[in-house]
Amino acid sequence: MTSRLAIVEDHGLIAHTVASAFRSRDVEVTVVPPASADALVTTVVGLAPDLALVDLDLGDDVSALDLLPALAEHEVPAVVLTGVRDRVRHAQCVAAGARAVLTKDGSFDELAATVDRALAGEPLLSRHEREEHLALLRQHQRAEEARLAPFRELTPREAEVLAGLIRGRSVEQIATECVVAVSTVRSQVRAILRKLGVSSQLAAIARAKEAEWQPPSGS
């Protein structure tokens, strides 16, 4: 019985090169073009492949992480093939349901061997390897929580003021935009400095950028 492989990849040259290589091994291959996450899930599930080979970053802010949980829910096994070498992102893929994560700088023989094992129903990660991925992810999540904790202490208005400072607005400009008194904004700035543990507006901006803090939507 011919095995069915779906390739979800936004780089056409890579997708069709890999597809051609697997077709030469008598695998039935469908290349799924870029689309929204929901559309990709619908297409792949409809194909009912024995395995989905999914790129991590699929363009237009679509990621394999948007697809993997739904594919797992529909019992479509997936392997992530990516040029990204970030171990945390690999761990995120495993946690989201990927059977394995391979990098594009590996050999085709390595990819083919992994696909063959997946198609045969063999586990691709040992229990120890999976636990290592999940432990790394938990460690990363704790670090993220600590990094952003001071910013979660900000009130919505303080977050809005900090966002204004980051955009280069003065206290007076922020007061005008928010239709409040300058003294009110200055009070909010003092609260921001205290909560972030810094002594100046420039230091608050620097800390926000260093922490990669994102203002709430609409700020």
Q: What is the pLDDT of residue 219?
A: 58
Banded pLDDT at 84 (limits 50, 70, 90): very high
Query: What is the average pLDDT across 106-128?
Result: 92
Model confidence over 21-33: pLDDT tens digits? 999 998 999 999 8
pLDDT at 218 over 70: no
Q: What is the pLDDT of residue 70?
A: 96
Give, as one character, the DSSP assignment of residue 63. Answer: B
Q: What is the pLDDT of residue 59?
A: 84
pLDDT at 94 over 90: yes
Q: Given CATH 3.90.1170.50, say whether it is the number of domain 4-137.
A: no
Q: Which fold, 153-210?
A: Arc Repressor Mutant, subunit A (1.10.10)
Q: DSSP for 23-60?
A: HTTT-EEEEEPP--HHHHHHHHHHH--SEEEEESB-ST
Give this prediction's pTM: 0.75
Query: What is the average pLDDT across 95-106?
Result: 94
CA dist., res. 174 & res. 160, Å (int): 9
Q: In this structure, are residues 51 and 81 in contact, taking their beta carbons and an 8 Å threshold?
A: no
**Tokens representing residue 51 in the block:** 């395995």
Q: In this structure, are residues 145 and 209 in contact, taking their beta carbons and an 8 Å threshold?
A: no
What are the residue boundaries of the structural domains of the chain, listed by start?
4-137, 153-210
| Beta strands at 100-103 and 78-82: parallel, antiparallel or unpaired | parallel
Which H helix or E strand runs over 195? helix 182-196
Banded pLDDT at 215 (limits 50, 70, 90): confident
Among 56, 60, 59, residue whose Cα is nearest residue 68: 56
Q: In this structure, are residues 67 and 54 in contact, taking their beta carbons and an 8 Å threshold?
A: yes
Distances (CA, A) of 85 to 113, 116, 136, 213: 20, 23, 14, 23
Model confidence over 135-179: pLDDT tens digits? 999 999 999 898 899 999 999 999 999 999 999 999 999 999 999
CA dist., res. 18 & res. 155, Å (int): 51
Q: Give the number of other CB atoms < 10 A from CB of residue 218.
A: 7
Model confidence over 168-212: pLDDT tens digits? 999 999 999 999 999 999 999 999 999 999 999 999 999 999 988
Mean pLDDT of the residues in the chain: 93
